[in-house]
Amino acid sequence: FALFTKNQRQWSAKPLEAETVDKFKKNLEKSGIEPKHALAHDSYLINLGHPEAQKRQKSYEAFVDEVERCMLLGLDRLNFHPGSHLKKISEDECLDLIAENMNRTLEHTKGVSLVLENTAGQGSNLGWKFEHLAHIIDKVEDKSRVGVCIDTCHMFTAGYDIRTKEIYDTSMAEFGKIVGFEYLMGMHLNDSKPDLGSHVDRHDSIGRGKIGLEAFRYIMNDPRMDDIPLILETIDQSIWAEEIRLLYSLQES
């Protein structure tokens, strides 16, 4: 499952209370959910590649706080959007700044992996090309604590098609070659309202968007996706249970 450890649209939050931490850990244990099957997400405000030093520092401090909250809760991975150059610096400069702030964070924390999410490439957001993710990972010093989360809607609207088995295999082989499946630590399963390569981030319910149902059949039968969190971020909460049953029904024995 996925969670925010604080309000995702605010910079700061009061520290987690011991009672809250204790309850969370007990509920995880009671549910039989291992930390590796939970994927925390950071605040949407954070931009580790911000072109302005003061705002980048504010993002870095907020990011460290997010990691420390995961540490307290016993979680082992934090999912985040890489960052945006805001059309003020080059892509490479922004990617280098993201990696630099990841290195600073890893230096001052422990036990939590930083999981880069691929983006749709809307606006000046980076991370939509596999090469962006590979560039960042290459610059991260402790590669044992870096990972990637693939969002299927973002992947599709960034231009990577997955609608037929042959095309799915080609796109995933490209991910494997450029980034590497050893870094895959989670997936967001979303259909897409916009078209392939549109660079617009609008999710749809499973099987009801431009991606279609078959792509999710390929994912549910791909052994490379075993034992990582598969997270729904689809638009209609009232049918989440139905969508989960649908996804399980796609698994072949």
> Is 132 considered catalytic here?
no
Catalytic pick among 69, 85, 203, 217: 203
Residue identified by tokens 């649908």 is: 246
Does residue 151 contact residue 41 with C-beta atoms inside 8 Å?
A: no
CA distance 116 to 113: 10
CA proximity to 161, closest of 188, 198, 116: 198
Catalytic pick among 42, 66, 76, 117: 117
> Is 233 considered catalytic here?
yes
- On the CB side of 146, CA atoms within 13 Å amount to 25
Catalytic pick among 56, 77, 154, 217: 154
Catalytic pick among 9, 17, 226, 252: 9
Catalytic pick among 34, 44, 107, 245: 44
Rounded to 10 deg, the angle between the 240-249 and 213-220 helix axes is 60
Q: What are phi and psi of 214, to 5 degrees?
A: -60, -35
3-state class percentages of the chain: helix first, strand second, coil last, to nearest 5: 45, 15, 40
Catalytic pick among 100, 161, 214, 233: 233
Residue 180's region, left for phi above 0, alpha for psi from -120 to 50, else beta, is: left
Does residue 201 contact residue 217 with C-beta atoms inside 8 Å?
A: no
Q: Kindly report the length of the chain.
A: 253
Question: Which residues does 61 contact at the CB level (< 8 Å), separation at least 6?
Answer: none
> Is 188 considered catalytic here?
yes
> Is 9 considered catalytic here?
yes
> Is 151 considered catalytic here?
yes
Catalytic pick among 132, 188, 191, 204: 188
Catalytic pick among 42, 191, 201, 204: 201
Residues classed as catalytic: 9, 41, 44, 81, 117, 151, 154, 188, 201, 203, 233
